[in-house]
Amino acid sequence: MIDLYSSPSPNGRKISIMLEELSVEYNPIFINLEKKEQFTEEFSKISPSNKIPVIVDKDNDQVIFESGAILLYLAKKYNKFLNEKDYWEIIQWVFFQMAYVGPMLGQAHQYLFYNPGKSKYAEEKTKGYAKHIYKILDKRLSKQEFFSNEYSIADISIWPWIARFERHQINLNHYPNVLRWYLQISERPAIIKGYNVVGDFFKIPKP
Ligand SMILES: N[C@@H](CCC(=O)N[C@@H](CS)C(=O)NCC(=O)O)C(=O)O
């Protein structure tokens, strides 16, 4: 049994979606970020950065934080969504998500959605980064159905961020390949289920 500490956010959803895709039995535990539950002494023991997601795999007595490490752990453990043939291609896109897509779009949430009007410079800068990211993703998806040859942890890591396109002030119709990929993946039962496993219910946004 795996305990998943999560919240209804892109990084948390990556892992609930992965666990649903794997049809693994797991126990979702809600960490309410608004109530600052990520800073409790108890949670600090398993999350040195005081962030979700974290998993505790009781089968192996293994604790893992950082969503990229968790996706790799689960992909290796269950031998799915990270095939040998495309290994490095998948890894590249997963790292691109962790290093650029998540951090930059996370800044867009801060400046465009939660704190508009506070810094024109930061708003323009993050809008530019968001457009750059969507352009890169659109180009990749113009050549193939998924980020690699098959649906993989690359798609699972990127999709929950694109589900926040409204917060990035992005019109998905301007990125037709991302739009096609996003809508196609939105229909997967694991995405629908994994989107809402803790906290309040949210509808998956559709343009
Ligand atoms: N690099 C980390 C980022 C995790 C992260 O930023 N989690 C956010 C929610 S999406 C969080 O826990 N924020 C709470 C806080 O910063 O206090 C990962 O990929 O797991």
Pick the residue whose CA is nearest to atom 2 on ligand 1: 66
CB 177 within 8 A of CB 114: no
pLDDT tens per residue across span 162-204: 999 999 999 999 999 999 999 999 999 999 999 999 999 999 9
Q: Is 145 in the pocket of ligand 1 (CB under 6 A)?
A: no
Q: Is 10 in the pocket of ligand 1 (CB under 6 A)?
A: yes
pLDDT tens per residue across span 113-166: 999 999 999 999 999 999 999 999 999 999 999 999 999 999 999 999 999 999
- The domain over range 87-188 is classified in CATH as 1.20.1050.10: yes
How much is the pTM?
Answer: 0.97
Pick the residue whose CA is nearest to atom 12 on ligand 1: 51
What CATH number should be reported for the domain whose range is 2-81? Answer: 3.40.30.10
**From residue 79, how far is each of 72, 75, 84, 152 by CA, in Å?**
10, 5, 10, 11
- Delimiting residues of CATH 1.20.1050.10 domain(s) in the chain: 87-188
- Delimiting residues of CATH 3.40.30.10 domain(s) in the chain: 2-81
